[in-house]
Amino acid sequence: MSVRSAIVLAAGEGKRLRPLTEHRPKPMLPAATKPILEHVFDALIAAGVTDITVVVGYGRNRVQSHFGSTYRDVPLTYVIQEKQLGSGHALLAAEAEIEGPSLVVNGDQLVDRRIVEDVVAAHDADAAATLGLIRHRDVADYGGVILKRDGADGSSRRVTEIVENPRDDRSYQLNAGVYALEARAFDAVRAASSRPGEHTLVDGLAALIDGDVGTVQGVVSDGIWIDATYPWDLLAVADALLEDTADGIVERHVGSSARIHEDATVREPVVVAEDCVVGPGAVIGPNVCLGENVTVDSNAVVEHSVVDADTRIGPNATLVDCVTGRGVRVGPGSTVVGGPGDVHVRDRIHRDEDLGALLADRVRDEGGVTYAPGTVVGSSAVLGTGVTVCGSIDAETEVRN
């Protein structure tokens, strides 16, 4: 069945990704060198979508100013969710903008075209909803789906249960956040009982499963799905894109306006965006993504890192397992030694995560700084010459010996 319209839910902040989301929403964080949301749009367009409605909320100006009214000649309509009251609330805010069946996709998770195409191919009007699913070893932090094979050949798969954050040992598929919905699915979401402060899409689908309004189907896809829940997940997102030969980025992609010195070393896979400069003796890669207008000065080493736009890495600096925000300055001779380390995220400590350091927007390092594994530095912090830092450093803090 052909589905040409899509609703993209992109209103959330992503609090567990702070301090990166202090100045922009999670969908605008980098997946390799472009925003997660841009990859989502690409997947939809590749699957034949010709009209996209985007539900925005937190940091909506960042989304709207980046994409404007069209993306790759596909019109974008923006709907504002003033308060983030759940995925069901966001979905219903966009309902008036569509006619007929619609795809609904989370805008803050990386999905590739194969998942979208599989959902479109599996959906028919007899089903109120078709869910895109993947095989995943751990669904405890997401939505688990139980499927029952129907039909003589077992090809039709009916969803019998959706469980948020399942803790039992049943055979679940992971809900990838890609749906094809008929009008009666919207009605079910509207009628579903909401939780305190949250009206979810899944509650509406659960009501469909339990009632006789229509069936909910599922299709298991081999496409890429990955959620950047925590800062170090941005490294995993980049790795997935760099390593995916079916729909990802080629091993070495260098923007046409980027300049890599003939004496620099590039160890694939890497992505180097437009207007980057890599100096003599520098080593980048493997698994490195340099955003637009990044400078890697002479003899610097960057390995397994996502370096966002307008960042400068000074001469003889070393970055391993590092994630930066925009406009960061790493001084000469500074060292991010790489993970694993213990990372403080809100009120929880995550043990032995592969994060050398997270440097949020506009951090300024004056040189000779050593970062212990797991260090998180808030936006606009200043790190004086020769200091050693660890743990969490608040935004706009100045650290000196």
Tell me, what's the pLDDT at 246? 47
SS3 208: helix
**E strands along 229-365, which residues?**
252-254, 259-260, 265-266, 270-272, 277-278, 283-284, 288-290, 295-296, 301-303, 305-307, 312-313, 318-320, 322-324, 329-330, 335-336, 341-345, 348-353, 357-359, 364-365
Q: Give the helix ranges, DSSP H, for 232-293.
A: 233-243
- Can you give the pLDDT at residue 140? 76
User: Which H/E stretch holds residue 392?
Assistant: strand 392-393
What pLDDT shows up at residue 249?
Answer: 45
Q: E strands of 141-287, at which residues?
A: 143-150, 156-164, 173-181, 215-221, 225-227, 252-254, 259-260, 265-266, 270-272, 277-278, 283-284
3-state secondary structure (DSSP) of residue 250: coil
Q: Tell me if 5-227 shares its fold with 233-399.
A: no
What does the pLDDT look like over 75-87, one tens digit per residue? Answer: 999 999 887 778 8
The Cβ-side half-sphere exposure at 34, using a 13 Å CA radius, reads 16
Is residue 188 within a helix (H) or strand (E), and if so which, with residue range? helix 183-191
Q: 282 near 298, Cβ under 8 Å?
A: yes
CA distances from 29 to 226, 229, 323, 400 (A): 14, 11, 11, 30
Q: Could you state, in order of their start, the residue ranges of all structural domains in the chain?
A: 5-227, 233-399
Measured CA to CA, the distance from residue 231 to residue 354 in angstroms comes to 10
Report the length, in residues, of the chain: 401
The neighbour count for residue 370, using CB atoms within 10 Å, is 18
pLDDT at position 248, please?
Answer: 47
Region 5-227: CATH code: 3.90.550.10
Can you say whether the dihedral through the CA atoms of 305, 308, 310, 311 is positive or negative?
negative
Q: Using one digit for the tens of pLDDT, what is the confidence trace for 168-211?
A: 878 888 889 899 998 888 888 887 766 666 778 888 888 888 77
CB neighbourhood size of 160 (10 A): 13
Name which of 399, 392, 318 is nearest 365 in CA terms: 399
CATH number of the structural domain 233-399: 2.160.10.10
**Of 67, 20, 19, 61, nearest to 41 (Cα)?**
67
pLDDT for the residue numbered 197: 62
Using CA atoms of 33, 17, 237, 331 in order, give the dihedral in degrees to the nearest 10: 50
Write out the DSSP string of 71-119: ETTEEEEEEE-SS---HHHHHHHHGGG--SSEEEEETTEEE-HHHHHHH
Beta carbons of 281 and 299 less than 8 angstroms apart? yes
Distance, in Å, from the CA atom of 97 to the CA atom of 384, rounded to the nearest integer, reads 52
CA distance 365 to 359: 10
Give the three-state DSSP class for 46. Answer: helix
Are 389 and 383 in contact, with CB atoms under 8 Å apart?
yes
Please confirm whether the linkage preceding 35 is cis (ω < 30° from 0): no
* DSSP conformation class of 172: P
Q: How far apart, in whole angstroms, are the C-alpha atoms of residue 166 and residue 318? A: 41
Residue by residue, pLDDT tens for the chain (401 residues) are 577 889 999 998 888 899 999 889 999 999 888 899 999 999 999 988 999 999 998 989 999 999 999 999 999 999 998 877 788 888 888 888 888 888 999 999 888 889 999 999 888 878 888 999 988 777 777 888 888 766 544 445 888 888 787 788 788 888 898 999 988 888 888 877 666 667 788 888 888 887 765 588 888 888 888 888 889 999 999 998 887 644 444 445 888 899 999 999 999 899 999 999 999 999 998 999 999 999 999 999 999 999 999 999 999 999 999 999 999 999 999 999 998 888 887 778 889 888 999 999 999 999 999 999 999 999 999 999 999 999 999 999 999 88
Phi, psi of 3 (to 5 degrees): -125, 115
The single residue listed with the structure tokens 């979810």 is: 200
